[in-house]
Amino acid sequence: MNRTEEPPVTLVDEEAHAWRPATARARFRQGLTGPTAGVAAGHTQANLISVPADWAYDMLLFCQRNPRPCPVLDVTDAGSVTTVLADGADLRTDLPRYRVWEHGELVDEPTDVRAHWRDDLVSFLIGCSFTFEWALAAAGVPLRHLEQNRNVPMYVTSWQCRPAGRLRGPMVVSMRPVPPRHLSAAIRETGVMPAVHGGPVHCGDPSALGVADLGRPDFGDPVELEPDDIPVFWACGVTPQAAVMASGVPFAITHAPGRMFLTDARDDQYRVA
C-alpha cells in the first residue's frame, strides 16, 4: 500500500514551519509533494476523502459512528471544490499528493486530481493528528518522526470500526514513540483535542492492536524508538481509506497518507479545555 516514493520534505525545515497555510497550499499546488508534519505551525491539518453523493450518507454515518478515527471538520456540497476551512483553496490541487481509488483498488497517486474530478463528489475533511503535534512540542514531548525526518508511521489494526450502511473496515492508527516521563503530557495535551483524534487509543504492546512489527508500517515511514520509549497509538484519519478498500467503494479520491490539507483554522480552535 505504501507506494509513495519521493523523499520526504525536510520536515524540520524552518521555512515550511513558518509558512502561512495559504503559502503551504500554494507550494503544494505548484508541485511540492512531501509530507506535511511540521508545516505551517499552529494550524489545523485535515484528511481528505471524496466519495460520490450516493455514498455520502454512508460515509458521514461511518464518521459519526467512529469519531475517534473520523472526526469530521467539514463536509462540502456535492461537486464543490472549496471549503469553509480555507479561504480560496481548491481541494483538487492544494494537497501535496492524492490517491485515486476504483472499486477499493488504488489506481493512481497524482499531485493534482482535476482530471479525475466528478461533479457528484462530496468531500469530507477529517481532523489529523499532525494538528496536535504543536501542543505536544510545546509541552516538551519529543516527536521522533520529525527528529528523524520521516513521515509518521501508520498501521492497519485488527480493531474493526462500527459499520455504517455499506461501509466497514479496520481502524488505522498513527504511532509516536513517547519517553515514559512525557507520557502524561502526551495524553493530557491530545485528550483535549477530540476533533483531531483526541487521546491515544492504546499505549504499549502493539500486538494488542494486531500489529506484528512496528518496523513495517502500512503507511508512512518506520520510526526508531529510543531506549525506554513507549509506542503510543492514536486513531488515524487514514481509516476511511481502509474502509474504501474493505468495502469496495466504486470511486473515491483521498489524500496520500501524511500529505494533508492545510486549513486556515488555528489548532486552538479545536481545543476543548
Which of 3, 20, 65, 181 forms a contact with a second copy (CB under 8 A)? Answer: 65
Which of 24, 37, 48, 56 forms a contact with a second copy (CB under 8 A)? Answer: 56
Which of 191, 206, 222, 250 forms a contact with a second copy (CB under 8 A)? Answer: 191
Stretch (H or E) spanning 143: none
Which of 52, 104, 110, 194 forms a contact with a second copy (CB under 8 A)? Answer: 194
Which of 81, 106, 185, 192 forms a contact with a second copy (CB under 8 A)? Answer: 192
From residue 70 to residue 99, the character string flagging contacts with a second copy as x (rule: CB under 8 A) and all else as - is --x--x------------------------
Distances (CA, A) of 92 to 16, 37, 95, 96: 21, 20, 7, 10
Distances (CA, A) of 185 to 127, 133, 155: 20, 12, 23
Phi, psi of 77 (to 5 degrees): -75, 155
Nearer to a second copy, 198 or 258 (CB): 198
Which of 198, 217, 237, 258 forms a contact with a second copy (CB under 8 A)? Answer: 198
Stretch (H or E) spanning 265: strand 261-266
Stretch that binds a second copy, among 16-24, 58-66, 111-119, 224-232 (CB under 8 A): 58-66
Burial 114-151 (b: 16+ CB within 10 A, else e): eebeeeebbbbbbbbbbbbbbbbeeeebbbbbbeebbb
- The CB-of-272 to a second copy minimum distance in angstroms stands at 4
Q: Which amino acid is at 104?
A: G
Nearer to a second copy, 65 or 114 (CB): 65
Task: Name the DSSP class of 40.
Answer: S
Q: Are 121 and 79 in contact (CB under 8 A)?
A: yes
Q: How many CB atoms lie within 10 A of CB 273?
A: 6
From residue 121 to residue 160, the character string flagging contacts with a second copy as x (rule: CB under 8 A) and all else as - is ----------------------------------------
Which of 9, 16, 60, 252 forms a contact with a second copy (CB under 8 A)? Answer: 60
Residues that bind a second copy (CB under 8 A): 56-57, 60-61, 64-65, 72, 75, 191-192, 194, 198, 272-273
